[in-house]
Amino acid sequence: MSAFPEPSRQIAHVILDVLSVHPDVEVGANSEAADLAVARITEIPEAVDVTVEEDGDEMNISIGLSNLLGAALATLQHTVDLLAAERGTDAEAVLDELRAHLES
């Protein structure tokens, strides 16, 4: 049994599925892979929590992304831990390398 909420678990699988089908996805690209992920995630109950409140003529919309972020963070943390163990280093070194990659 998973240690985090069911919607997060399902979202994490969507992320992994998209990476397995589209391993060369460019970060930030509005690609077929991103469109596929969004389509699949929107089908997951409680994946994203949207609340709409009307106050007279105003409408307030809030979007809760905790299940989405939880999925990404849990998947990324496990990946960082695996890489650190494989390389015989600590998670901080792996995170530093990831940060450098994001800036390149």
DSSP 8-class letter at 32 = H
Residue 18 domain flag: yes
Q: What is the pLDDT of residue 102?
A: 83
- 32 φ, ψ (degrees, to nearest 5): -60, -35
- What pLDDT, on the 0 to 100 scale, is given for residue 29? 55
pLDDT of 90: 96
Instruction: Determine the 3-state secondary structure of 60 from DSSP.
Output: strand
1 inside domain: no
**H helix and E strand count, the chain:** 4, 2
Domain that holds residue 51: 6-103
Residue 41 maps to a domain: yes
**Residue 67 class from Cβ within 10 Å (0-12 exposed, 13-18 middle, 19+ buried)?**
buried
Q: Is residue 72 part of a domain?
A: yes
| Residue ranges of the chain whose pLDDT lies below 50 | none
Is 50 contained in some domain?
yes
Residue 25 lies in a domain: yes
Position 21 scores a pLDDT of 74
Total domains, the chain: 1
Q: Is residue 84 part of a domain?
A: yes
Task: Identify the pLDDT of residue 23.
Answer: 63
CA dihedral sign of residues 51, 49, 44, 30: positive
pLDDT score at 35: 83
